[in-house]
Structure 1
């Protein structure tokens, strides 16, 4: 199971931000790595596969600046860098194929940058893979209890949007489909500043 704060900045917003127009505030957040995960789900013409991110999370708290702008919440933060080599699949050949597909030698990170939240549940996210950037909208599912926020989502990506070509194996008999899903579940504590 993967333990990373993928898209972690998204999640502090939905239950904790004031409704006042133009207001700004800072939040302190700490990820609960034991209950958080990020996975890539894909299929081939013969089966399916799941690959998990296995890097450890930073232990320190981090700060996020939130600014209300009409119906949107704009977020100021650093981008999240996920190391490609930290994604692991059920077997070593699949893991190697995934790393090669993502061109890890030239582009060692997948980069996530949250741009804004609209309607308290739609995240606008920029993703960079293999040197190509694409923007996506992600529907979030959230629950908050005693300053502990759990958020999850599944986003669909097409690898050709990033200039990547789906690999073929065994002389073309096995081909990876171009569409993949990135699923994440993040459990975090929202702390007083």
Structure 2
């Protein structure tokens, strides 16, 4: 009888542990009304490089597990931004931007979602790995979201280009200098 009880307990706990440790799959579709851009500043004026969302893969498979109701971990949740998709408004600024991020050698900027820590309703902290010009760094930043069949995820990710071993271009013999801080602004509209 003790052996039967022991076997039942082992099976119960192993089933519970396996259920807690298995990742769930969900397909999400990034809708065309989504927006993403990179903004920065020089000592003269600001610039904005807008990403053409048609360069994104429309559907992606997410794997996630909820450690508890306020903490979700992800596996293989990767957003790959083809650098050809960025338009900075003029050919010289486009050339400078592509030279800065070394797009000839590294044609993609990668954003990999690692986890979300839910805060109050509609806000969370996202932890992502960002890869620019072959250098990967982990960042945590706040996001706002609304849930439903169609969800919105908004955020601004502040980056220092020196963290990615990038050197800001200088123009006119150093009179125009790009500042080291850039922002990745996004408003993603996704359908589950």
TM-score using structure 1 length: 0.80
1:129 is aligned, of 122, 125, 132, to 132
Relative contact order higher in (CA < 8 Å, ≥ 6 apart): 1
- The aligned runs of 1:16-35 (5 Å cut-off) are 22=20, 24-33=23-32, 35=33
The residue correspondences of 1:115-154 to structure 2 (distance < 5 A) are 115-119=114-118, 121-145=124-148, 147-154=149-156
Q: Distance in 2 between matches of 1:179 and 1:96?
A: 19
Higher relative helix content: 2
Shift of 1:75: 0.8
Shift, 1:158, TM fit: 0.3
Q: Gaps (5+ residues) in structure 2? A: 1-18
Superposed CA offset, 1:3-41 (max 9, x none)? xxxxxxxxxxxxxxxxxx9375332211111x1011001
User: Counterparts of 1:68 and 1:74 in 2: how far apart (Å)?
Assistant: 6
Residue 111 (structure 1) aligns with: 110
Residues 1-193 of structure 1 mapped to structure 2, 5 A cutoff: 22=20, 24-33=23-32, 35-56=33-54, 57-59=56-58, 61-70=59-68, 71-119=70-118, 121-145=124-148, 147-190=149-192
C-alpha separation in 2, matches of 1:135 and 1:65 = 19
Q: Distance in 2 between matches of 1:124 and 1:184?
A: 15
What is the CA RMSD across the aligned residues, in angstroms? 1.8
The Cα shift of 1:108 comes to 1.3
| Whole-angstrom CA distance in 2 between matches of 1:152 and 1:88 | 21
CA distance in 2, matches of 1:78, 1:136: 15
Is there any run of 5+ residues in structure 1 with no aligned partner, and where? 1-20
Q: Shift in Å at residue 100 of structure 1?
A: 0.5
After superposition, the Cα gap between the structure-2 partners of 1:141 and 1:79, relative to the gap in structure 1 and judged at 3 Å, is same
What TM-score, normalized by structure 2, do the two folds share? 0.81
For this pair of structures, how many residues does the alignment match? 167
Q: CA 1:49–1:171 in 2, change beyond 3 Å: closer, same or farther?
A: same
